[in-house]
Structure 1
Amino acid sequence: MSSINLSKGQRIDLTKTNPGLTRVIVGLGWDTNRYDGGQDFDLDASAFLTDENGRATQDLDFVFYNNLIHPSGSVEHTGDNRTGEGDGDDEQIKIDFSKVPANINKIAITVTIHDAEQRSQNFGQVSNAFVRVVNADTNQEVLRYDLGEDFSVETAVVICELYKHNGDWKFNAVGSGFSGGLAALCRNFGLQV
């Protein structure tokens, strides 16, 4: 089965169309080759586990480089890549749908630029950003969403959401940008910074 390419705003079934799919790897990648202000770009992937109202109910529902694994074991960040060098995924987040707590309805995957203000960096200088979902048991890519060049001044992007609907998990290609970096994202998901 070949991977499906999504565009912004598209939604697709994950578990219903792929029976037995319980463990996925969400791979994220990007290039920052159009920038030469002398500073590395450090893009950070994170996951927010939220209720049906899109709110994280506790700080531990935010999985990022300082909190690599959710207490439930359902979501795990494999670690920070500080440069985005090389091909393939720059960062990965592993999700086990069978371990997601009942009160969690949505897992939002985001990318932010570390120290964006100080380094005068933004997503307008990032190219070829993508997310892909891989079946962790077979290593088959299930879907891919290429973000395109829609961004300019944003320093944070909600890339996609995996959400529960009638007991099945779906994928939503969100691609919405925020100014104000990680702090703005945290507030968006109901967390105090």
Structure 2
Amino acid sequence: MKLIIDRGNRNINSSQKNRYGNLTIDRSVKNSSPVISLLDIKNTISSNSTNIKPFNQDNNIVKEKTKNIKIKSLVNTNASMKILKGQKISLNQKSPNISKLMVALEWEIKNTSNKKLELDTSIFMVDKNNTTQEEDFIFYSNLKSAQGGIVLKSDHNSNLKDGYDEVVQLDLTKIPLNIEKLAFTVTIYEAEDRGETFENISNAYFRLIDTYTKKEILNYKFDDQLSEETAIVVAEIYRYKGEWKINCIGSGFKGGLKALCYNYGIETD
């Protein structure tokens, strides 16, 4: 599979026709800045300007969007396990409901730019050769895996998604047998052009929630020791001896989405 990076028009009314099956990253000019466009309308985490929270009093941190604290409080975090980079945990032992899981991501953005920093979440479904096929790349223009095991921006109808910056619905019983692991990644949109890096991010958390019981299973702070990176592999959920385990990766890259694609065997131009 090859991702083609060029310059075109990201405008959703563009005459250029994109089709899934020929995955294209379109580096186009809109408002005098190159951007990434993948097939359909780009639904980035901070796309709704009405959700931007005002600066706080110290003018140092700004929330990218207003999360619903009341909804988030519905999740029981009392027994949530705090895990560290490199730590590996059995999910089957921690939760019997591996068909009703939800990954919840949240972060704060430092006020370091006049432009609004945007983050995108992607999931690479990786086979035994440590590569990802085109149809197994889940991102903002391909929200759902073919078998329904992964659905970006969904929450098993638990009504919890508005409590977080991003959510990913998981049903591990629907992950194809040829898939060995699921890599959860976050990238900064237009990072190089805007001069933004993960140094501009703070209090970033990866949380795993059982949506059936509304209990948080574990949490991982993934922004520690990041500075010049523009992309990060946050965590990997993988098969091991008949069960599912999680490994907190926390590995950063400087090349944004292109670097992540290269890491998982997706050829780019």
Query: Normalization by structure 1: what TM-score?
Result: 0.90
- Matches of 1:148 and 1:50, distance apart in 2: 23
Q: Which runs of 5+ in 1 are unaligned?
A: 80-86
Q: Which residue number in structure 2 is paired with residue 44 of structure 1?
A: 120
TM-superposed CA distance for 1:40, in Å, is 0.6
**Cα contact 1:124–1:149 (8 A) shared by 2:** no
- Matches of 2:111 and 2:197, distance apart in 1: 10
2:186 is matched with which residue: 111, 114, 119? 111
**Cα contact 1:110–1:158 (8 A) shared by 2:** yes
- Matches of 2:163 and 2:206, distance apart in 1: 10
- Report sequence identity in percent: 40
Task: Describe how 1:14-53 pairs up with structure 2 within 5 A.
Answer: 14-32=91-109, 34-53=110-129
What is the aligned length? 184
TM-superposed CA distance for 1:88, in Å, is 4.3
**Cα contact 1:47–1:63 (8 A) shared by 2:** yes
**Cα contact 1:74–1:99 (8 A) shared by 2:** yes
Query: Highest CA radius of gyration, 1 or 2?
Result: 2
**Cα contact 2:234–2:248 (8 A) shared by 1:** yes
TM-superposed CA distance for 1:167, in Å, is 1.5
**Cα contact 2:128–2:180 (8 A) shared by 1:** yes
Q: Which residue number in structure 2 is paired with residue 184 of structure 1?
A: 259
TM-superposed CA distance for 1:147, in Å, is 1.8
Q: Does 1:94 align with 2:180?
A: no
Q: Does 1:3 align with 2:92?
A: no
**Cα contact 2:98–2:171 (8 A) shared by 1:** no
TM-superposed CA distance for 1:53, in Å, is 3.3
Q: Which residue number in structure 1 is paired with residue 247 of structure 2?
A: 172
Q: Which runs of 5+ in 2 are unaligned?
A: 1-77, 155-161
TM-superposed CA distance for 1:191, in Å, is 1.0
**Cα contact 1:23–1:96 (8 A) shared by 2:** yes
Does 1 or 2 have the higher relative contact order (CA < 8 Å, sep 6+)?
1
3-state SS of paired residue (1:27): strand
Partner letter of residue 151 of structure 1?
L
- Matches of 2:193 and 2:97, distance apart in 1: 46
**Cα contact 2:82–2:220 (8 A) shared by 1:** yes
Q: Which residue number in structure 1 is paired with residue 158 of structure 2?
A: none
Q: Does 1:141 align with 2:204?
A: no
Q: Does 1:162 align with 2:240?
A: no
Partner letter of residue 137 of structure 1?
Y
| Runs of 4+ with deviation above 3 angstroms | none
